[in-house]
Amino acid sequence: MMEVTQPTFSALLIERLHAKDWSAEELAKRTGVSDRFINLLLEERIEDMPSLPYLRGYILKITDVLDLDNEKIWQTYFENNERLRSSGKYDELPKNRFALSRINKKVVLGVITILIVLLYLFIRVFLAFNLSHALSIPDLEENRVVVYDPSFILRGTIESNYKLILNNEPVYPDIDGVFEQMLELQPGFNTFTFEIKGFLGRTDTVVKQLFYEVSEVVEPARALPLVSTTTDNDF
């Protein structure tokens, strides 16, 4: 009678992986068992495997995922295998490269602290940044501008990523940011309030003044009529 040779666990494992179309890495992901340990099983390197208490837990995980009878597999291939060593004080669980490593709490706290400080500094710099650089009004650059005409054409430029409001009225520049407004002036000081709106709702205000001086109209001199005078000697 022909003796039936029992396949090794390595052969059984390879057969089940082929049936599911899995690689050793895929099995490691699904079980949480180190792919290094799975490769030891596939290569039948019994002497390099961890001691029995750890090995049993790994085998049970693998057989569960592969739909095998875990107790039967353990008893058949591992329980009485003399090539396996027992647990020792220097035994260490194999590390799974797919598992997340424990993060040092002090490192995490330090990183969070640095991020908070950087965010605080960014906000301080952002709020302190003046938006007036985006607006250019050459005709009102001087501290005191005097004009003698009640109609004044205000010309300037505003950078494309900003919005401009003049005395509560929106200004619509062209594609190059150039704008032109016809203003009617009142005698004396005329105040123009430019509101610049930027990124994240940032707003800045620029105030300019222009003085309209009314020219005095001098009437032309009129000729006075000649007045004749008479004396007694004329008679």
Nearest to 120 by CA among 110, 131, 128: 128
Ordered alpha helix ranges (H), 100-232: 105-128
Q: Give the confidence band of 221 by pLDDT, cuts at 50, 70, 90.
A: low
**CA dihedral sign of residues 91, 97, 100, 106:** positive
Among the ranges given (6-15, 75-84, 118-127, 225-234), the one the predictor scored with the smallest mean pLDDT = 225-234
Overall pTM > 0.75: no
Rounded Cα–Cα distance for residues 140 and 142 (Å): 6
Among the ranges given (51-60, 80-89, 140-149, 211-220), the one the predictor scored with the smallest mean pLDDT = 80-89
For residue 162, the tally of other CB atoms under 10 A from its CB is 18
- Determine the pLDDT at residue 104: 75
Domains of the chain: residue spans and CATH: 9-77 (1.10.260.40), 131-212 (2.60.40.10)
Angle value at C-alpha 40, between 7 and 62, nearest 5 degrees: 70
* More confident call, 142 vs 3: 142
Among the ranges given (141-145, 197-201, 221-225), the one the predictor scored with the smallest mean pLDDT = 221-225
